[in-house]
Chain A
């Protein structure tokens, strides 16, 4: 389903992801965990080809040409990545989920608009369709983003910290909604922060700290040893070496 082999991503000279390989089957929900700066968001962006990769192979559905499968992937960026004061309504944001399917000069059709309203209905935001997005609460803004992903009709959902700064009710409803999608055979990858809820929310876990620590079903991967590897101090030596490497390569003292 998602098949990644030897993925390496650098920002400048600093490695952010280093030789990451994993396979994720269809119809599971995956929690992507790791400390700050572990490359969790970078992994999603690399999968979507938003940022360039140094090396590695990433296949979806056994298809190596990304442009053929791009429309099957729905992406929810971090909430902080956009300007919420932007003059746009909730409905217009959700409608953007269909822009990938329009031709370059195309306009959204009636069917697209209908789908956007339906998605708003599903996330419980129908009443706020024509409200400027800055007027909404953090939880409501996240619902809008998830509605936009739903409208894309994708088979893979990549969500970047959808529960950061979101009220508990929204978190639970959104997770239930995503669970429903996995039951339909869709794959959900969520960058997550909160360790205690991992068992409840996800089938699989991907532990990341620049390198891949472990990947697999929650019960197998979420062991104290693995968590120590991902969040513990052993990692610091590697970070220090990486920093030194970056320094000497760029010629800065």
Chain B
């Protein structure tokens, strides 16, 4: 089976397109929610859909037992109704009863979901044949989606995407600075209401493929991943939609391939689509948190490490500059570091050409002399600046200068030199090495 077959094969195309569209819509809305710091709302509202769904399906089963094909429409309406009720309740608790945001969100989540679960147990005995319609929405069941679903889901998902595209600028303003947006007459309450409906729509769309329990993951994960790579609102929306789409696609394909692999011996072992999609989305988010070039944890740790290494090397150079020649043990004693670190620091300095071996000890090369002098110069310039310009006590300036000597750039050095009129002595009456003529 080729990659394209997943999109056109009559069995596979419905879940494929269904999840793809749903993921794009939910990750766009998720990005906005994430930036508003309201992600828990998605979690609460997705759980709050459940009692409405149970009620809707139960009513349909009770009064129109032959109309099973309309179940999805009832599910849609019931879900919208009950999560709207959930939102009203959250607002009521927050505004009228002064319950904290977290508490009211969690309360509504568990209350509504509890009622829903109670409802299914009731259905199990009264309407057993309809029970599976509701049960499958807990963790989703993409495989049973039909072309009719795609049509409806496609229209709704396109509405969400279109809204975000059309309202890009006002949305950016109300998310960033709601007070200012009100002051320039942007229709803030109306936009927030539409935004809320878009969230509901994407949650309800996701119910079918990912399920009410996991749906909020699909809202949050792509946004978290996207934020790691960019500092632009529009790029973040694009990236988030891309991550969302990829999780939908990959999750689907992996579940189809995995299922066919596991069932090759005739046993029926299925890998569910919904959890697979969430897993893929989670992997994107996790990878971004660890490996994004600027904000990723791994690269940040590496940059910190390389800075520490630079500090150590420069302190070493200063030691050679003051003492003339040093052995490993000398370096170790002077800087108060382990023999291991002293050994490797000196080796690195030799490799870089700052230091050379001579009669079992080490001393600076002429290039190393220049380098060390420039570090000492920065140190003493900074001390003088603190003492003369900021009037700090002479005894207290050494410590911060120890740090700043590794950080100051040539531009700042030039400014300091000018400000202090190219000084020759630091506050401790030590000579300041000159830039040229060393």
For residue A73, which residues in chain B have a CB less than 8 angstroms away from its CB? 183
Q: Which residues of B contact A82 (CB under 8 A)?
A: 176-177
Q: Let me know if B236 and A100 touch, CB within 8 A.
A: no
Q: Please, which residues of chain A bring their CB within 8 A of the CB of B181?
A: 96, 99
Q: Quick check: A88 and B183 within 8 Å, CB to CB?
A: no
Least CB separation from A89: chain B residue: B232
Given contacts A87-B227, A104-B170, A132-B231, whether A96 and B35 have CB atoms under 8 Å apart is: no
Smallest CB separation, A12 vs chain B (Å): 9
Which B residues lie within 8 Å of A75 (CB)? Answer: 179-180, 183-184
Are B177 and A81 closer than 8 Å at their CB atoms? yes
Interface pair B182/A104, CB less than 8 Å apart = no
**In whole angstroms, how far apart are the Cα atoms of A66 and B172 in the complex?**
25
Known contacts A83-B37, A99-B186, A100-B185; A88/B179 CB under 8 A: no
The residues in A between 65 and 82 inclusive whose CB is less than 8 angstroms from any CB of B are: 67, 70-71, 73, 75, 77, 81-82
Instruction: Provide the residues of chain B in CB contact with A99, threshold 8 Å.
Output: 169-170, 173, 181, 184, 186
Report the Cα distance A96→B168, complex, angstroms: 12
Give CA–CA (A148, B233) in the complex, Å: 18
B182: chain A residues at CB < 8 Å are 48-50
Q: Contact at B180–A88, with CB atoms within 8 Å?
A: no
Tell me whether B172 and A88 are in contact (CB under 8 A).
Answer: yes
Contacts A99-B169, A104-B170; is A87 near B236 (CB within 8 Å)? yes
The answer, yes or no, to whether B187 is at the interface (CB within 8 Å) is yes
Q: Are B179 and A77 in contact (CB under 8 A)?
A: yes
Q: How large is the interface on A (under 10, 10 to 19, 20 to 34, 35 or more residues)?
A: 20 to 34
Q: Mark B207-237, 1 if CB is under 8 A from A, else 0.
A: 0000000000000000000010011110110
User: B166 near A: Cβ within 8 Å?
Assistant: yes
Q: Give Cα A106 to B185, complex, Å.
A: 14
Whether A48 contacts B173 by the Cβ 8 Å rule is: no
With both chains docked as a complex, state the minimum distance between the C-beta of B207 and any C-beta of chain A, in angstroms: 30
- Kindly list chain A residues whose C-beta atoms are within 8 Å of the C-beta of B187: 104
B222-261: which residues lie under 8 A (CB-CB) from chain A?
227, 230-233, 235-236
Residue contact B179 to A50, C-beta cutoff 8 Å? yes
Task: Indicate the member of B35, B37, B166 with the most A CB atoms within 10 Å.
Answer: B35
Q: Chain A 97-120 against B: per-residue CB contact (8 Å), 1 yes, 0 no?
A: 101101011111000000000000
List of B residues within 8 angstroms of A104 by Cβ: 167, 170, 187
Closest to A132 in B: B231
Q: Please tell me if the beta carbons of B185 and A102 are within 8 angstroms of each other in the complex.
A: no
* Chain B, Cβ-Cβ closest to A81: B179
A67 & B185 in contact (Cβ 8 Å cutoff) = yes
A70 neighbours in B (Cβ, 8 Å): 183-185
Query: Size band of the B side of the interface?
Result: 20 to 34
A30 to nearest B CB, angstroms? 18
B422–chain A nearest beta-carbon distance, Å: 25
Q: How many Å from the CB of B419 to the closest CB on chain A? A: 15
**Chain A CB within 10 Å, residue with most, of B37, B169, B230:** B169
A20 CB to closest chain B CB (Å) equals 19
Does A19 have its Cβ within 8 Å of any Cβ on chain B? Answer: no
A102 to B170, CA, bound (A): 9
**B177 and A96 contact, CB distance less than 8 A:** yes
Give CA–CA (A20, B172) in the complex, Å.
Answer: 35
Is A122 part of the binding interface, using a Cβ–Cβ cutoff of 8 Å? no
Shortest distance in angstroms between A89's beta carbon and chain B's nearest beta carbon?
Answer: 7
Residue of A nearest to B182 (CB): A50
Minimum CB–CB distance for A77 against chain B, Å: 5
Residue of A nearest to B175 (CB): A86
Is there an interface contact between B233 and A100, defined as CB atoms closer than 8 Å?
A: no
For A142, the chain B residues whose CB sits under 8 A away are none
Residue A45 interfacial (CB < 8 Å) = yes
Q: Determine the distance from Cα of A106 to Cα of B232 in the docked complex, in whole angstroms.
A: 20
What distance in Å separates the Cβ of A156 from its nearest Cβ neighbour in chain B? 11
Q: How far is the CA of A27 from the CA of B331 in the complex (A)?
A: 69
Cross-chain contact B35 with A45 (CB below 8 angstroms): no
Q: How far is the CA of A77 from the CA of B187 in the complex (A)?
A: 18
Q: How far is the CB of B180 from chain A (nearest CB, A)?
A: 6
The interface bits of chain B over 147-168 (1 if a CB of A lies within 8 angstroms of the residue's CB, else 0) are 0000000000000000000110
Q: In chain B, what residue has the closest Cβ to A100? A: B184
Contacts of A92 in B (CB 8 A): 172, 233
Closest-CB distance, A87 to chain B (whole angstroms): 5
Interface-centre pick from B176, B182, B236 (highest chain A CB count, 10 A): B176
Cα distance A82–B173 when bound, in Å?
A: 11
Beyond A86-B35, A87-B227, whether A152 also contacts B184 by CB under 8 A is yes
Residue A213, interface by CB 8 Å: no
Report the minimum CB–CB distance from A79 to chain B (whole Å): 11
The 9 residue pairs across chains A and B that have the minimum distance between CB atoms: A100-B184, A132-B231, A75-B183, A48-B183, A50-B182, A87-B231, A77-B179, A82-B177, A70-B185
- List 16 additional A-B contacts (Cβ < 8 Å) besides A88-B231, A96-B181, A104-B170: A50-B179, A70-B184, A75-B184, A77-B177, A77-B180, A86-B175, A86-B176, A88-B172, A88-B232, A93-B176, A96-B172, A99-B184, A100-B185, A100-B186, A104-B187, A132-B231
Ordered by A's residue number, 16 sampled pairs between the chains whose C-beta atoms are within 8 Å are A45-B179, A71-B185, A73-B183, A81-B179, A82-B176, A86-B175, A87-B231, A87-B232, A87-B236, A88-B172, A96-B177, A99-B170, A104-B167, A106-B169, A132-B232, A148-B180
Chain A residues near B (Cβ < 8 Å): 45, 48-50, 67, 70-71, 73, 75, 77, 81-83, 86-89, 92-93, 96-97, 99-100, 102, 104-108, 132, 134, 148, 152
Q: Which residues of B contact A (CB under 8 A)?
A: 35, 37, 166-167, 169-170, 172-173, 175-177, 179-187, 227, 230-233, 235-236
